[in-house]
Structure 1
Amino acid sequence: MKRAQLAVLGLALAAGAGAMLLMRGDPPPPPQVQVVEAPRVATTAILVAAAPIPMGQTLSERDLRWQDWPANAVPEGLITRDDGMDLAAGAMARQGILAGEPIRPERLIRADAGGFMSAILPAGMRAVSISIDSRGSSSAGGFVLPNDRVDIIRTFRNESASQQGGGDVLVSETILRNVRILAIGKNVQVDEQGNSFVDGEHATLELTPSQAEAITLAQRTGQLSLALRSLADAAPTAVAQEEEIVEEQLGSLDIVRFGVSMPTPIR
């Protein structure tokens, strides 16, 4: 093939390739992604629980951690880094605290501020200890734990009926209803696994002053047992309705004040 023919063929091939590129067009440019930086929010470090803290536990530094919180939304009364961790470390928890829950000074008690039991008692209430059966026969099989609600049942010998019948006649009656358990034995809390047990022969109850008098007398005149209440029956409305139903069936305890006998209705 002559040189002239080769040159014409080369030009034709180059023209064809150029035409194909023109027909395909240039690829579109890649989309440009605009990165918008989020506005910076001022934060303040507040003290929170690093793990669940049961009631009565003494707090240490490993139980606590700092958590960033929006500076303009910090509730009043929380412990900030400016306050320091020493404000909580070494104190005792009045109530259970969940992991991640902010620490509040009013939910803590210092060792030099009095006893723990007096710290968890509401104003106007009294803590009274009664004897129970550690084997569970008079404490709902050992399943009564702190913060549960119970009824107190007194079992006693009916003297008049026993004399008439010629044998012992025992009677049981509910003398207190919906009473909060503060401690069983030396237990005032459950452990981190939620386990607890009856480890003593006493139950500490949260009572009003008049209830404290009634329960003290009842211990001297009979044996006391604990009847565990359902959580659904612990509401004040449920207790009020129940008391209306059984009010006519309940008796009274005679409490002597300054030498004068005063019948006390059983509730």
Structure 2
Amino acid sequence: MKNQRALIVMAVAVLLALAAVALAGRWLLRQPSNSSGRIVVASTDINLGQRLTPEMVKMADWPADSVPKNAFVDPTKLNGRVLKSSVLLGEPLSEAKLAPAGTLGGLSALITEGKRAITVRVNDVVGVAGFALPGNYVDIIVSTQKEATGEATQRERNISKIVLERILVLAVAQEVNRDETKPRVVNAVTLEVTPAQAETLDLARSVGTLSLALRNQVDPHAADTLGATKLTLLPAAAAPAPVPAKLPAPVVHRVAAAPRRTCVTVINGLRPTSECF
């Protein structure tokens, strides 16, 4: 009897302990973690140049030891701000991804301070078959004619030369989305240049035809070239070496051999004489 009563007491104690553990676990799960914070993240994919609205952002828990620098904790501070880089769903928003306050949005928000945007007409060949996309870097090649100097021939005046290097493509046609990786054949490309480069590019397209050369994203090296001309492209054939003139064969004059004669010595007294016939 005593053993049965002891077993009942132990069973009740175990059940109460399990209930206490379960209640404590639920309570702990409901408590905010001291190692996490709440920051503003994107509630949808947002393209660069767009103006933020309250529907585009939301609050989300984020580990306190990995909160991005200058992350926002108040979504109201983002109303009306313009993105200068694309943001994906759930990505934190920070000051580094925003254009300066007061920017109206659109392409002007993407232009670096002190630079300009200029648009050039292209085709499927000039535009690198549609692979010159926003965010890529290109070199500008102009094909034109040099000023005539002296007796320079047409062959020497035609030239193709790289005039601008590592120029950022801001937009193709009227789109600035940099997430697209498929080629798009368009009729216009907008480039980011300095004021001096804008003048060079405007002059280049007025004196010749332009081509774009797509370059590696991380290649900073400059191309040191002299330009290509018809003379360097198709060098003149070397003149054949002169063939030495053949000297006339020497004339050999043969002297006819004298006819053979028979000589006889005749002794006349003491004086010998020779007679030939």
TM-score range, shorter chain: 0.5 to 0.7
The one-letter code sitting in structure 2 at the alignment partner of 1:104 is S
Alignment match, 1:69: 62
Equivalent of residue 143 in structure 1, options 131, 147, 172: 131
CA distance in 2, matches of 1:145, 1:60: 27
Change (3 A) 1:147 1:72: closer
Q: 2:219 aligns with which of 235, 241, 252?
A: 235
Q: What is the alpha-carbon root mean square deviation over aligned residues? A: 3.8
**How far did residue 115 of structure 1 move?**
5.3
Stretches of structure 1 lacking an aligned partner (at least 5 in a row): 1-25, 252-267
Could you say if the C-alpha distance between residues 72 and 157 of structure 1 is closer, same or farther in structure 2, counting changes exceeding 3 Å? closer
1:222 to 208, 220, 243: 208
- For residues 7-38 of structure 1, what are the alpha-carbon distances to aligned partners after superposition, in whole Å with 9 as ceiling and x for unaligned? xxxxxxxxxxxxxxxxxxx9xx99x8767755
SS of corresponding position for 2:205: helix
Shift of 1:146: 0.8
CA distance in 2, matches of 1:57, 1:67: 22
1:181 aligns with 2:178: no
- Paired-residue identity, %: 30
Relative to structure 1, the CA distance from residue 187 to residue 56 in structure 2 (aligned partners, 3 Å threshold; closer, same or farther) is: same
The question of 1:41 aligning with 2:33 is answered yes
- Structure 2 gap ranges (5+): 1-6, 229-277
Residue 239 of structure 2 corresponds to which residue in structure 1? none
Which residue pairs with 1:171 in the alignment? 159
Contact 2:144 2:209 in 1 (8 A): yes
1:118-151 CA-to-partner distances (Å, cap 9, x unmatched) read: 3322233222222223xx1210012211111111
Q: 1:71 to 1:150 in 2, by over 3 A?
A: closer
Q: 2:50 aligns with which of 35, 48, 57?
A: 57
Distance 1:64 1:219, change over 3 A: same
Match of 2:119 in 1: 129
Length-normalised TM-score, structure 1: 0.61
Change (3 A) 1:166 1:226: closer
**Partner SS, residue 179 of structure 1:** strand
SS of 2:199's equivalent in the other structure is: helix
1:155 is matched with 143
C-alpha distance in 2, partners of 1:220/1:92? 35
Residues 111, 185 of structure 1: alpha-carbon distance in 2 compared, 3 angstrom cutoff? farther
Residue 47 to residue 164, structure 1, CA distance change in 2 (3 Å)? same
Relative to 1, partners in 2 of residues 1:220 and 1:65: Cα closer, same or farther, differing over 3 Å? Answer: same
Please give the secondary structure, in 2, of the residue aligned with 1:186.
coil
Instruction: Kindly indicate whether the alpha-carbon contact (under 8 Å) linking 1:187 and 1:198 is maintained by their aligned counterparts in 2.
Output: no
Partner of 2:89: 99
- Contact 1:155/1:171 (<8 A) preserved: yes
Looking at CA atoms only, which structure, 1 or 2, has the larger radius of gyration? 2
Q: 1:167 to 1:173 in 2, by over 3 A?
A: closer
What is the count of residue pairs matched by the alignment?
Answer: 208
Partner amino acid, structure 2, of 1:235: D
TM-fit CA distance, 1:220: 1.3
Write out aligned runs for 1:192-231 (5 A).
197-199=184-186, 201-231=187-217
AA paired with 1:217? L
User: What CA distance in whole angstroms lies between the structure 2 residues aligned with 1:227 and 1:182?
Assistant: 15
Inter-CA distance 166–128: structure 2 relative to 1 (3 Å threshold): closer
Q: Please give the TM-score of this superposition, normalised by the length of structure 2.
A: 0.59
CA 1:196 to 1:46, structure 2 compared with 1: closer, same or farther past 3 Å?
Answer: farther
Q: Tell me by how many angstroms 1:154 deviates.
A: 0.6
Q: 1:169 deviation in Å?
A: 6.9
